[in-house]
Amino acid sequence: MKKILIVEDEKNIARFLELELRHEKFEVTVCYDGRQGLEQALAQQFDCILLDVMLPALNGIEVCRRIRKQSDVPILLLTARDAVMDRVAGLDAGADDYIVKPFAIEELLARIRSIFRRVKSSDAQEQAKLTVRDIEMDTQAYEVFLRGERLELTRTEFDLLKLLMWNKNIVCTRERILEQVWGYDSEVETNVVDVYIRHLRTKLVTDGVPYIETVRGVGYVMRE
Ligand code: CA
């Protein structure tokens, strides 16, 4: 049975999540403030942590940062509607994903399933083949196919696309992209990310929904 920790000070939301997740056959632990949440997170092995940002005692971003120093447990942030900065700070603090309140329980469950799939596939070592919609990538052969046709990409474009495909359905901040594609000590500015995203978009021709979605003020995501 998978174990989920809920850290949420609004009792009615916490209770609702607890009941819904129990119904989905998860084992659930609930904490109502950040300090307690952090203690629990470090004391036990959880499969996923649902972490509110606005918390008494210790805020969710700080809790996230401190958990990350010791654990890779998947963290899903629960953020307020207009708190774009919280989302950026949360993702930079090492959260895996975020969901904006109020949310439908189905969406939350989908995010949790997506996190579990990702953990499973990274456990199975680096997946050789990545797919998003009709884009296929063979990471070992360094090949990308769009609707079956081979795409010519530069090494940087390839690495950028790989990061986005690998994190399918999860928003990557510009800072994270910069770190992972260009490296921590890189001198380039974050707007270089936007430039490369533009390059990729012109190559990933679509007559429908664009493959790479811009999340304003945060970063980019590829969705199924
Ligand atoms: Ca709260």
Per-residue pLDDT reduced to its tens digit, 33-67:
999 999 999 999 999 999 999 999 999 999 999 99
Mean pLDDT across the stretch 72-98? 86
Cα 36 to ligand 1 centre (Å): 14
The CA 115 to ligand 1 mean position distance, Å, reads: 22
* d(CA 98, ligand 1 centre) in Å: 14
Gap from CA of 155 to ligand 1 centroid (Å): 43
Q: How many CB atoms lie within 10 A of CB 180?
A: 16
Model confidence at 178: pLDDT above 90: no
CA dihedral of residues 36, 118, 168, 22 (deg, nearest 10): -50
Separation between Cα atoms, residue 22 and residue 95, nearest integer Å: 23
Higher pLDDT, 6 or 180: 6
Interval between CA 8 and ligand 1 midpoint (Å):
6
Dist. CA 11 → ligand 1 center (Å): 9
Residue 72 pLDDT class (50, 70, 90 cuts):
confident
For 116-133, letters b (16+ CB in 10 Å) and e give: eebbeeeeeeeeeebebb
* Alpha carbon of 78 to ligand 1 centroid (Å): 9
Question: Taking the alpha carbons of 123, 165, 214, 198 in that order, is the dihedral positive or negative?
Answer: positive
Between the CA of 210 and the centroid of ligand 1 the distance, in Å, is 34
Which pLDDT value is given to residue 27? Answer: 96
Q: Which residue has the higher pLDDT, 125 or 113?
A: 113
| Residues surrounding ion ligand 1 at CB below 5 Å | 9, 52, 54
Burial class (CB in 10 A: 0-12, 13-18, 19+), 13: middle
- Please compute Rg for the chain using Cα positions: 18
- How large is the average pLDDT for residues 138-166? 92
Q: How far is the centre of ligand 1, averaged over its atoms, from the C-alpha of 131 (Å)? A: 36
Q: What is the pTM of this model?
A: 0.60
Q: Is the pLDDT of residue 22 over 90?
A: yes
Spacing, Cα 10 to ligand 1 middle (Å): 6
Neighbours of 18 (CB within 10 A): 17
Out of 39-43, 83-87, 196-200, 212-216, which region has the weakest mean confidence (pLDDT)?
83-87
Distance from Cα 114 to the centre of ligand 1, integer Å: 24
pLDDT average, residue stretch 106-126: 77
CB contact at 8 A, 59 and 34: yes
The pair of structure tokens assigned to 129 is: 């083949």
How many A from CA of 196 to the centre of ligand 1?
A: 37
Cα separations (Å) of 79 from 134, 152, 154, 155, 196?
A: 32, 39, 36, 35, 29
Name the average pLDDT for the chain.
89
Q: What's the 25 CA to ligand 1 centre distance in angstroms?
A: 25
Query: What's the mean pLDDT in 198-223?
Result: 92
> In the prediction, which pLDDT does 122 show?
64
Q: What is the DSSP letter of 146?
A: E
